[in-house]
Amino acid sequence: MIIYFFLGRITEDLVRRRAEHNDCEIFSLEEISLHQQEIEKLEYLDKWCRDLKILYLQNNLIPKIENVGKLKKLEYLNVALNNIERIENLEGCEELKKLDLTANFIGELTSIEALKYNIHLNELFLVGNPCTEFEGYRQYVVATLHQLKCLDSKEIERSERIQALQNYPEVKQKIREQEQAYLLKRAREKEEAQRRMQERKDKKENQMKSKLDFDSNNSSHQAEGGREQEMWRTAEDDEEDRRFWEEPTPYTPESRLETHRYIEEKRRAKDNIRESKKKEKPLQTLVTAEGKVLNVNVPKLHFSLKDDEDNNQIILDLAVYRHLDTSLLDIDVQPTYIRVLVKGKPFQLVLPEEVKPDSSSAKRSQTTGHLVVSMPKVFLLPLSLKCSFSHLFFYCFRSVQVEKLEVDPSKYSFPDVTKIIQEKDRIGQGPIRLQPEKITETKSYVEFENDEDVPPLI
């Protein structure tokens, strides 16, 4: 990606990233959008994407239409807002129906004759090009391209075409004269742009030389005057920016390209300064000189550490940003601690028990984005020891037989509590204990006569 931005060219990686709607497959791609990618050369698409039907290339820095002649199925080509100066190399696009060249630098209007071979071309857009200011521009285009039905969003009437064909020789002569004048003007603009670019290059070299001299003369006072030197350079850069943006320059392909490169140069300079400041920052202490691992949370993320006794593992739940790309996470599990780099910022946590790094696993939640790291413990507890204390005591108690102590009866010295209270006759006292009935003794009387005829008394 970095190579692409510096060179301004189309790469396979760029095309695949823009082909997400086609599962990143480029050989069967029918539509692709490469707009606003700062592309400076059109290439490779005719080899990688032969089935393209729609191609968007607007708002880039393309100076020439090339390497699209093999796209036989191409129906719509949009190259608006580029640096194109003439129409060419489109004869092989047999199915081309719509061509958008809005806001380019086309001054060679006679180059539209190359579009005669595109018999299916219905719509053409040339708004914002220098050629549209030519006298007789529309008449010339309508008379040259008989297959056109719409020019610059305006439908071509049959009467308009008949009239354009009647005046075609005179209009064509005027167009050629205006075109020659424009080409002479462009030649002068190119020379001026070349001279201005050389002056700017020489001035830049002189500034670099003066800065080097300033640094060498003040090397002994670098610590004291470092802030003053930085302020001086900032003021000079601001003055250079002001001169660049306030200087009047014509709107040409060269000035557009120069502006783009100036912006890129400033951006790279700022990135270099930012990187140098990052290098100057002291590194975060993760392990002390004595070898003690510290707890560190530089990204300031919420987390939770859980001891999963059922599975004999430790689980770390780190609240990583939901939309953060997983490639920006670096996880390092050690036996006694875990370290996670989130966009280069370290998160380090000392673990309560020793774990197995090789058996650890990390997962990312698709809903919350949290990072969940499972770390099995080194020491595996038996199944019986995972029970609660009560269950453990119960099982152990059942497995062991209770032994009773034998006591010699002769040495038994405790009093007999059963003989403290003497027993008394208790008849009918208490519903539980039943007393035996008292037998009464019968007395015999002398006067008693036993008569068998008398029945016994009840």
- pLDDT at position 55 is 95
- pLDDT at position 178 is 94
Instruction: Average the pLDDT over each of 153-162, 198-207, 213-222, 346-355 and give the range with the smallest value.
Output: 213-222
- pLDDT at position 399 is 46
Instruction: Average the pLDDT over each of 62-66, 347-351, 391-395 and give the range with the smallest value.
Output: 391-395
373 beta partners: 316, 362
Mean pLDDT of 415-420: 60
Mean pLDDT of 15-44: 89
Give residue 9's pLDDT band: very low, low, confident or very high (50, 70, 90): confident
- pLDDT at position 246 is 83
Average pLDDT, the chain: 81
Residue 64, pLDDT > 50, answer yes
The whole-angstrom separation of Cα 136 and Cα 129 is: 14
Tokens 């004869």 correspond to what residue?
Answer: 91
Mean pLDDT of 152-178: 94
Tell me if 339 sits within 8 A of 347, measured CB to CB: yes
Q: Is the dihedral of CA 256, 261, 264, 270 positive or negative?
A: negative
Give residue 420's pLDDT band: very low, low, confident or very high (50, 70, 90): low
Token duo for residue 142: 């309508």
Query: CB within 8 A of 76, min separation 6: which ones?
Result: 53, 54, 55, 96, 97, 98, 99, 100
The whole-angstrom separation of Cα 439 and Cα 458 is: 17
The whole-angstrom separation of Cα 118 and Cα 120 is: 6
The DSSP string of 357-414 is STT-EEEE-TTT--EEEEEEBSSPPPSGGGS-HHHHHHHHHHHSPPPPPP--GGG--S
- pLDDT at position 67 is 92
CA separation, residue 194 to residues 108, 200, 254 (Å): 22, 10, 9
Give residue 205's pLDDT band: very low, low, confident or very high (50, 70, 90): confident
3-state secondary structure of 76: strand
**Which residue type does 334 have?**
Q
Token duo for residue 27: 């050989």
- pLDDT at position 247 is 81
Element (H, E) at 85: none
Task: Show the beta-strand stretches assigned E in 274-336.
Answer: 296-297, 303-308, 313-318, 329-333
Angle at 150 between CA 148 and CA 155, to 5 degrees: 125
How many Cα atoms occupy the beta-carbon half-sphere of 233 within 13 Å? 16
CA separation, residue 211 to residues 146, 206, 354 (Å): 63, 9, 56
Give residue 184's pLDDT band: very low, low, confident or very high (50, 70, 90): very high
Tell me if 390 sits within 8 A of 413, measured CB to CB: no
CA separation, residue 431 to residues 424, 426, 427, 434 (Å): 17, 12, 11, 7
The whole-angstrom separation of Cα 252 and Cα 83 is: 8
- pLDDT at position 370 is 92
Residue 403, pLDDT > 50, answer yes
The whole-angstrom separation of Cα 335 and Cα 337 is: 6
The whole-angstrom separation of Cα 98 and Cα 124 is: 6
- What is the phi-psi region of residue 300: left when phi exceeds 0, alpha when psi lies from -120 to 50, beta otherwise? left
77 beta partners: 55, 99
Residue 3, pLDDT > 50, answer no
Mean pLDDT of 220-234: 55
Given strand 31-33, what is the order of strands in its sheet? 31-33, 54-56, 76-78, 98-100, 123-125, 150-151, 154-155
Give residue 227's pLDDT band: very low, low, confident or very high (50, 70, 90): low
CA separation, residue 152 to residues 74, 129, 141, 194 (Å): 20, 11, 11, 33
- pLDDT at position 272 is 81
* Residue 150 phi, psi (nearest 5): -145, 130
- pLDDT at position 6 is 41
How many Cα atoms occupy the beta-carbon half-sphere of 316 within 13 Å? 25
Residue 128, pLDDT > 90, answer yes
Per-residue model confidence as pLDDT tens digits over 286-323: 888 888 999 999 999 999 999 988 889 999 999 998 88
Residue 204, pLDDT > 90, answer no
Residue 397, pLDDT > 50, answer no
- pLDDT at position 75 is 95
